[in-house]
Amino acid sequence: MICTGLGGRSGAVLSPIITKIAEEAAALTILVVTMPFIFEGKKRLQLAKKSLKILQEKSNSIILIKNENQLALMDKTLKVNEVFQLLDITIGDVIHEILSSILRDEENDISLNIKNLQTIIYYQSKAPLNLGLKQIYNSANNLKYNR
């Protein structure tokens, strides 16, 4: 599992290299990536799109979180650092749900659950992801009122 933001040099340059190594090792690769905000500029967005294209060719599944879409769901009075905190929560929730689906079996048969996940990803070009908007709104309100 690789989690990165694609707007900067670290994520955009290193994640394709790491993904290529994982592909060569025949490892199941699930990426959770974020795209930059519009206000971060065209250069970062272009770098992110270029990197995303490479990652799509080398990984089994990509979960794409568009920062701009998440921003539209948040309270407009939040400070920038609070917005990033909420994005961190969202990314953490995504990773938690993926790992929970692997470990959810009553007998904790991790090998079987990973095999099921591999099958789902293999036969499906896009991995569906449902994030509860209520949870995001609640998190935003908690940050707003607990400043």
pTM: 0.70
Distance CA 14, CA 43 (A): 17
Question: And the tokens for 92?
Answer: 């953490």
Q: Is the pLDDT of residue 146 over 70?
A: no
Which domains, and CATH codes, for the chain?
Answer: 2-145 (3.40.50.1440)
Beta strands of 6-54 (E only): which ranges?
30-35
Q: What is the DSSP string of 86-130?
A: HHHHHHHHHHHHHHHHHH-STT--HHHHHHHHHHHHHH-SS----
Percentage of residues of the chain with pLDDT beyond 70: 68
Three-state secondary-structure class, residue 59: coil
107-132 pLDDT per residue, tens: 555 555 556 666 665 555 454 444 44
| Better-predicted residue by pLDDT, 122 or 49 | 49
6-24 pLDDT per residue, tens: 988 889 999 999 999 998 9
